[in-house]
Every structure is written in C-alpha cells, then in structure tokens.
Amino acid sequence: MAVLGSSSTLLAAGDPSAGQAVFSARCAACHATTSGENKIGPSLASIVGSKSGAVPGFDFSPAMKSADINWDDANLDKFLANPTGFIHGTKMFVNLPNATDRENLPSYADQMSRVRQHRP
C-alpha cells in the first residue's frame, strides 16, 4: 500500500493503527494493498495522487474512467463518504460514514507507502 497513498501530506492527524483496523474491517475483502493485485475492487497501492480509473488491469465503470478525478485528501474523503453520490455510476457501493475512519484510513496508507519505499 502504498495503499491509498504515497503523500506525506495525507490527513496527518489520522491514526495509522486505527486506519489499519478500518481497512481490515471495511476494505480488505474487496481491495488489495499490493500493486497489481486486483480483487473485486482495484488495488489501492499508490492510489493517492493518481487519477480515477487508472489502476492497470482493473475493469472500471465508464463513470470512473471518465471522472478525471485526482485522488487527493479532499476527493478521497468525498468519495469514501458517498461513492455513488460523488461519482454517479461507480461500482463502489460501500461507504465510510464516520469522518474519523475517513481520516485514519489514509494515515494507514501513508505509513504503508513509506514502509514499502524503504524496503531493499
């Protein structure tokens, strides 16, 4: 994971441990954190800073392909709060209504990204 991210500016107030718990409970069934490992949903490796519909090898909805959204903090927050309201026609249907969960999840992603970048 570079899951969800690679930006050190990601919602710095979030708790990476709590974010890991959120990912495990709410995201891991559909999303992988390893690059190239797509499940029901796309891999979230390095998703932060990327464009919507850009994960190689995943069959995105036409809505996601044409959304032309940069996955930054604000857009991730809006999408995770209400995926179908933010991108009409997305395949993503699970939301994170809790603002604290939406803050913690990118913190976990950011931490995982840094760990993977420093591995030999």
Where residue 116 falls among pLDDT bands split at 50, 70, 90? low
Return d(Cα 68, Cα 36) in angstroms, integer: 21
Q: What pLDDT, on the 0 to 100 scale, is given for residue 6?
A: 40
Return d(Cα 98, Cα 14) in angstroms, integer: 13
Q: Residue 78 burial by CB count (10 A; 0-12/13-18/19+): exposed, middle or buried?
A: middle
Q: Name beta bridge partners: 24.
A: none
pLDDT tens per residue, range 18-29 = 999 999 999 999
- Is residue 8 scored above 80 in pLDDT? no
Q: What is the average per-residue pLDDT within 84-106?
A: 94
State the CATH class of domain 16-117.
mainly alpha
pLDDT tens per residue, range 28-42 = 999 988 889 999 999
Per-domain residue ranges of the chain:
16-117
| pTM of the model as a whole | 0.80
Among 75, 98, 100, smallest CA distance to 85 is for: 75
Place of tokens 């991108």: 87
Q: What pLDDT, on the 0 to 100 scale, is given for residue 1?
A: 38
Residue ranges of the alpha helices (H) in 1-120?
Answer: 16-22, 62-66, 73-81, 83-86, 99-117
Q: Which residue has the higher pLDDT, 59 or 12?
A: 59
One-letter amino acid of 76:
L
- Is residue 118 scored above 50 in pLDDT? no
